[in-house]
Amino acid sequence: MDQLESFNKYYYLLIEGNNKFNLTAITEVKDVAIKHFIDSLTCLTFIDLANNSTIMDIGTGAGFPGIPLKIMRPDLKITLLDSLGKRVNFLNETADILGLENIKAIHGRAEDFGREPQFREKYDYAISRAVAKLSVLTEYCLPFVKPGGYFISQKGPEIDNEVKEAGKAIEILGGRLEVINSLNLPGMGDGRSIIIIKKIKQISKDFPRKAGVPGKKPIL
């Protein structure tokens, strides 16, 4: 199926799944198209993802931004990570129905998978959309990124204090803040920020810390 057909089918699968798994509070067609689908794709405006790049989508929820990215860029190899098993089942079923290849959803915590040799520093990009404060999210995401790769954080408009607060975590976890891009979603004016952090060195074996610790005791 073509891209438009895939997005249309994804919408109906999302609404159907929402009745079972409480996937999203946003359900109107236009709102889903802009606030989920287009919002997920905003990172493509600011970073040129190389062909066949590997991507880890942390805290993907209903598949954002990973599934829209896969629909737009079939060449990407995407792993969707979520802590709720029912959502993971929904995501894998959705990928099958949409005929998407080289995308899989896995069930677990970022802190645990970030220590696994199969996943640790194996990805060109880690992407996350409004999952946690940047100081916490950095510890979730940078362990997955290869040195030379990037962590892309998709956030709302007011992020100055959050970025400042995350400075120490970014440095300790082997990253360097590259750029912060701002935009407004079409037709709604909702502000968004795309924070791009480059992984400049291997991460210490001390990170990520045990599950639950980053959220309770962020690196500040």
- Known binding-site residues for S-adenosyl-L-methionine equal 59, 64, 110-111, 129
Q: With beta carbons less than 8 A apart as the criterion, state whether 142 and 119 touch.
A: no
Entry field: residues in the chain: 220
Rounded to the nearest 10°, the torsion over CA 192, 123, 104, 115 is -100
* Crossing angle between the packed helical segments 3-21 and 85-97, to the nearest 10 degrees: 150
Phi/psi region, residue 115 (left: phi>0; alpha: psi -120 to 50; beta: rest), is alpha
Question: Which positions make up the binding site?
Answer: 59, 64, 110-111, 129
Which strand (E) or helix (H) includes residue 9? Answer: helix 3-21
